Amino acid sequence: MTMPTFADDDALLEWVAQSLYTGVLSDACDAVGLRDRTLGPDIRPLDESRVLVGRAKTVAWAPMFHVPARPYDKEIAAVDSLRPGEVMVMAVGRSAEIVPWGELLSTATLARGGRGAVLDGLVRDSRRIRELGLPVFCTGRRPLDSCGRGIVVDFDVPIRVDGVPIAPGDLVVGDADGVVVVPRAAEAEVLDHAWTKVAGEDRTRAALRAGSLLADVFREHGIL
Which of positions 39-68 make contact with a second copy (CB under 8 A)? 40-42, 48, 60-66, 68
Q: Segment 102-121, which members bind a second copy (CB under 8 A)?
A: 102-104, 107-108, 110-112
Using the Cα atoms of residue 169, residue 6, residue 106 and residue 24 in order, give the sign of their dihedral: negative
Query: What's the closest the beta carbon of residue 3 comes to a second copy, in angstroms?
Result: 20
Per rule CB under 8 A, is residue 6 in the interface with a second copy? no
The residue from 147, 185, 188, 199 that contacts a second copy (CB under 8 A) is 147
Under a CB-based contact definition with an 8 Å cutoff, are residues 129 and 179 in contact?
no
Per rule CB under 8 A, is residue 19 in the interface with a second copy? no
Measured from the CB atom, is 7 or 224 closer to a second copy? 224
Measured from the CB atom, is 7 or 80 closer to a second copy? 80
Per rule CB under 8 A, is residue 185 in the interface with a second copy? no
Strand partners for 123:
101, 141
Per rule CB under 8 A, is residue 86 in the interface with a second copy? no
Per rule CB under 8 A, is residue 153 in the interface with a second copy? yes
Dist CA 114 CA 206 (whole Å):
38
Any alpha helices (H) in the chain, and if so which ranges? Answer: 9-19, 22-31, 73-80, 103-111, 126-132, 187-209, 214-221
Dist CA 98 CA 151 (whole Å):
9
